[in-house]
Every structure is written in structure tokens, then in C-alpha cells.
Amino acid sequence: MKRYLGIALFALLLSGCAALNYQKPQISIADVKPGKTTLFEQSFEVSLRVSNPNNLALNAKGMTLELNVAGEKLATGVSNQAIAVPALGEGLITLQLHTSLAGWLKQIGKAMEASNGGKLEYQLNGTLEDLNGMGRVPFRSKGEWKLPGQ
């Protein structure tokens, strides 16, 4: 019995060491498509590229996402879509983000007036839900969009 307990403790120790080498996945915007527009709300279908730098596959039960543009919260979304990214690989995830139409138009107006060549800086803040049994794993990513015709 003691022998099995020792083996189990050793296996637990090894799995703990593997978790210490875990690197967070990199998440970036791959595509944005306009969705349904109403007087009060705009929806977007957003494709995110998830890059897995780990030698273990990543599996999550879903995600939450907040999109900030020029330092202001613009849109939010959630997805219960299962996420599976192979070890040392990439995958695309699509989810719906929602924003107020007024907020979106305000951001586009700012970008067109700014002397930054029509570029919008964005930041993604979110969580991967139940990632490989580790619970909620937060992520943050930054980038910029260049508006067409600028």
C-alpha cells in the first residue's frame, strides 16, 4: 500500500512540474464581420486565432471576451463553444461580440479624425473557461486595425 502511495505522490509531483512550464496561449483577431444591426446594438462575428506554444493540446469549455478600442470598452461576448488547439499548433474560434451602435460609430469617428492614419489600437481581455482542468485562465492581447481607405 505504501508503495502505491509513493508512486502516486511521485506522479503528482511530476504533473505539478509540467504545469510550471505551461505558457499562456497567444490570442489575436483574425477576422471581423459585421452582423445584425439595430437602432441600439451592433453585433460582430469575430474570429480569433489561438496559438498554442505548449507541447500539450489545449482544451477549454468556452471563453469570455471584452474588446477595448483606444482604451475604452467597446464590445463584449461569451461563447460556450468547445475549444481544442493541438500541441504547438493553432486554431480559429468564432464568437459574437455585441456593442452599442453609438459606441462603434464614436470610435470610427475618432480614428478618422486622428492623425494616426486611421489606425485603431485594440486590446482583448478575456478568460478561457476550464482550460485543461485548470479553471479560468485569463488572457490579454494588443494590436491595431487600419481602417480601409485611410
- 17 pLDDT band, cuts 50/70/90, is very low
Q: Is residue 1 part of a domain?
A: no
Q: What is the DSSP letter of 127?
A: E
Q: What is the DSSP letter of 25?
A: P
For residue 8, pLDDT over 60 is answered with no
Helices and strands: H and E segment counts in the chain? 2, 9
Q: Which residue has the cell 475549444?
A: 83
Which CATH number belongs to the domain containing residue 90 in this structure?
2.60.40.1820
- How many domains are contained in the chain? 1
Q: pTM for the full model?
A: 0.74
Strands (E), 12-54: 26-37, 41-51
- 72 pLDDT band, cuts 50/70/90, is confident
Q: Is residue 6 part of a domain?
A: no
Q: Is residue 96 part of a domain?
A: yes
Which residues span the domain enclosing 120?
Answer: 24-146
Average pLDDT over residues 62-73: 90
Per-residue pLDDT tens over the stretch 82-131 = 999 999 999 999 999 999 877 777 776 766 666 566 677 889 999 999 99
Q: Is residue 88 part of a domain?
A: yes
For residue 32, pLDDT over 50 is answered with yes
Q: Is residue 4 part of a domain?
A: no
105 neighbors 147 (Cβ within 8 angstroms) = no
Q: Is residue 46 part of a domain?
A: yes
Between the alpha carbon of residue 37 and those of residues 76, 133, 138, 146, the distances in Å are 15, 37, 30, 22
pLDDT at 123: 94
Q: Is residue 33 part of a domain?
A: yes
Q: Is residue 17 part of a domain?
A: no
